[in-house]
Structure 1
């Protein structure tokens, strides 16, 4: 299965990035030699070593940004050398959401992705299928109505574009990519690229 595209904040401000984007959008393109061209040359001198050390520092910063993006932590800033913390936070979050087994009411717990999937699908098919023995009017006639018609209209109305915009702008800029994989931060840094989508 192909992974969904998500803008990577490590690309922001990278030398040559804008040129790569322009070339990629100008024609069909299957890869980039941009990164390889940074390392051309077969001799090593002091300036090259210092340049490589600088690139290594930048790569460490980029790795930290990557793990910060993957983790759910919001109170720490970039460049704090917290990559290990962000990595562990992400691993713990993934472990927290991992379902190893499930009971279906017919005996011992069943393990394995196929068994868990079958139990979940069966459960939701059961609760969302129409049951001829169910008569909701028997319950609703005895329950006092608490939601007025005016309240119901307010609760069920469509969200306005201002409400949607306000909600989206309250999200952290480097989290929650849209359906196109672009985050708010990627949209703001790519405004100079007319070929990229903007929110």
Structure 2
């Protein structure tokens, strides 16, 4: 057993040396590159930009980008340590975190429109239905024409005619097939299709 422990200790020190030689210290490397960029920027401010300085700055920025990617990978792996040590089993940690999440998501009481606190589940359900029915119901509102005329038109008659025109099946097919199958469509994350 003693020899095994000694060999493991020797192996650990060799792996650490290999890690430093092969991968370098990510945090030290990042600090070194950032220092060099800072010094080069001071030099550029003092002397002006030359093509050699531009190339050096570009090279340093590429090195910094690679180092930051390695640092991100390091932290990502480090954050999974707990999961890896706990494993994929049904552990006490997993169950307790699930219970806490369930308790946080549970609605145990609400206050109705009259200010009364409701604790009974049936009363909570009834009040929720009543609230959303009233919220989503349509009330007839009479708007004065004079008020409507104060709002400037933002869509021209030509644009309005185009928007109100019925779409063809070919247009719909073009829109649907232009969407990436695993991404949200449109520049703002969604596309609205009216049928």
Per the TM superposition, whether the score is higher than 0.5 is: no
Query: TM-score under structure 1 normalisation?
Result: 0.32
Higher RCO, Cα 8 Å, sep 6+: 1
Query: TM-score under structure 2 normalisation?
Result: 0.33
* Structure whose CA Rg is larger: 2
